[in-house]
């Protein structure tokens, strides 16, 4: 059986390759023009050492201890010249993608609609020219071109991988270049290009309760993760706290309800930080952590939103001595901040 191997690189780039039965990850990568680090290809030098973050595999038995010790193997390190996957896997490659001669992948798409779903949020729907060529992990983002400017902006998929239609939830930033283009100019049929997928904020295998914390359009990657969990038939407890500033910022609540109907362990609540809001739950997501029905020290936490919100959650967890087993977060930083 063929397996899908997600190779994640130090610079955040990802490439998903297929691995044939009995084929090593190194050979599969070369076949698909990804030159992973290697030297001997015989399990002797250790140059091809990577970390398998998810999935099952045969380590091979033709390598020497100097290349991969038993302790390293126990920690999930692998030699890609020896590793034969037995399932889909995620393999972290400890070098930047360019060192593997991996050019950033560009994908083309056509605007289906750029719709203001509230005063503050745009739902962008794109028809992908080649959906099968855009393999991403739920939670990842792409850099979308801003037409006519030579600039691009990062946006996380709110749709699930493999869909012919890619969806994005985009904050309508007053005066923002992409925001303005989407609200004032975009028309169905317009063409957009995107580079990616990118990012290490993606859903890992669920082996314990999962806490999801979303701030504003930080809901986008969380929706993509929830869609995948629903397709997988996940029954683990999954708890989402979705925080926004104003009542009008609350979007996609119907979709969350539909996901709750498909995911037996999924519970979500929202809160609005403006004290004058009409919503019954006021405050920040950090004010509602006590409503989570499981031990925060025994869960995996995914956190996404604007930088101040992400920092506030991190500070609260630190102050309260709460350390989730795995903690993944993404900051929706403005482009100028990312560049700086």
> Token match 């920040």: residue?
284
Tell me which DSSP letter residue 286 carries: G
Q: Which is nearer to ligand FAD, 117 or 267 (CB)?
A: 117
SS3 helix, strand, coil % of the chain, rounded to 5? 25, 35, 40
Binding site partner of 178, from ligand FES, ligand FAD, none, Cβ cut-off 5-8 A by kind: ligand FAD
Partner whose footprint covers residue 170, from ligand FAD, ligand FES, none (CB < 5 to 8 Å by kind): ligand FAD
Q: Which residues are CB-contacts of 82 (< 8 A; sequence separation ≥ 6)?
A: 24, 43, 59, 60, 62, 63, 68
| Cβ within 8 Å of residue 176, ≥6 positions away | none
Nearest CB to ligand FES, comparing residues 49 and 208? 49
Choose the one of ligand FES, ligand FAD, none that binds residue 67, judging by a C-beta under 5 to 8 angstroms depending on kind: ligand FES
Selected from 171, 215, 227, 300, the binder of ligand FAD by CB under 6 A is 171
Residue 92, phi then psi, degrees to nearest 5: -90, 120
Query: Binding string, 215-244, against ligand FAD, x = CB under 6 A?
Result: --x--x------------------------
In the list 4, 11, 18, 44, the residue contacting ligand FES (rule: CB under 6 A) is 44
Cβ 66 to ligand FES, closest distance in Å?
A: 9
- CB closer to ligand FAD, 170 vs 213: 170
CA 181 to chain CA centroid, nearest Å:
25
248 binds ligand FAD, rule: CB under 6 A: no
If binding is defined by CB under 6 A, does position 39 make contact with ligand FES? yes
**Bond from prior residue into 197 cis (ω within 30 degrees of 0):** yes
């Amino acid at each position: 059986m063929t397996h899908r191997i997600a190779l994640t690189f130090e610079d955040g780039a990802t490439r998903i390759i297929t691995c044939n039965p009995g084929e090593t990850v190194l050979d599969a990568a070369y076949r698909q023009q990804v030159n992973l680090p290697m030297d001997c290809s015989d399990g002797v030098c250790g140059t091809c050492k990577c970390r398998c973050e998810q999935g099952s595999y045969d380590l091979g038995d033709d390598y020497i201890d100097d290349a991969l010790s038993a302790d390293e193997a126990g920690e999930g390190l692998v030699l890609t010249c020896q590793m034969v996957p037995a399932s889909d896997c995620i393999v972290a490659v400890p070098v930047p993608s360019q060192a593997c001669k991996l050019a950033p992948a560009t994908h083309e798409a056509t605007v289906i609609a750029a719709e203001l779903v509230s005063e503050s949020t745009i739902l962008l729907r794109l028809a992908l020219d080649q959906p099968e060529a855009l393999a991403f992990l739920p939670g990842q983002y792409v850099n979308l071109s801003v037409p006519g400017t030579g600039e691009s902006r990062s946006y996380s998929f709110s749709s699930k991988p493999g869909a012919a239609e890619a969806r994005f939830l985009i904050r309508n930033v007053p005066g923002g270049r992409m925001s303005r283009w989407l609200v004032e100019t975009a028309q169905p049929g317009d063409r957009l290009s995107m580079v990616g997928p990118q990012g290490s904020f993606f859903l890992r295998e669920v082996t314990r309760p999962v806490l999801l914390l979303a701030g504003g359009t930080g809901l986008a990657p969380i929706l993509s993760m929830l869609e995948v969990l629903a397709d997988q038939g996940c029954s683990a407890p999954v708890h989402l706290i979705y925080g926004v500033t104003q009542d009008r910022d609350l979007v996609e609540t119907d979709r969350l309800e539909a996901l709750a109907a498909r995911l037996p362990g999924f519970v979500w609540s929202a809160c609005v930080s403006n004290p004058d809001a009409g919503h019954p739950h006021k405050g920040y997501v950090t004010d509602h952590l006590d409503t989570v029905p499981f031990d925060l020290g025994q869960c995996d936490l995914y956190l996404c939103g604007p930088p101040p919100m992400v920092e506030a959650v991190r500070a609260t967890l630190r102050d309260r001595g709460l350390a989730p087993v795995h903690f993944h977060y993404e900051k929706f930083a403005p482009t100028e901040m990312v560049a700086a």
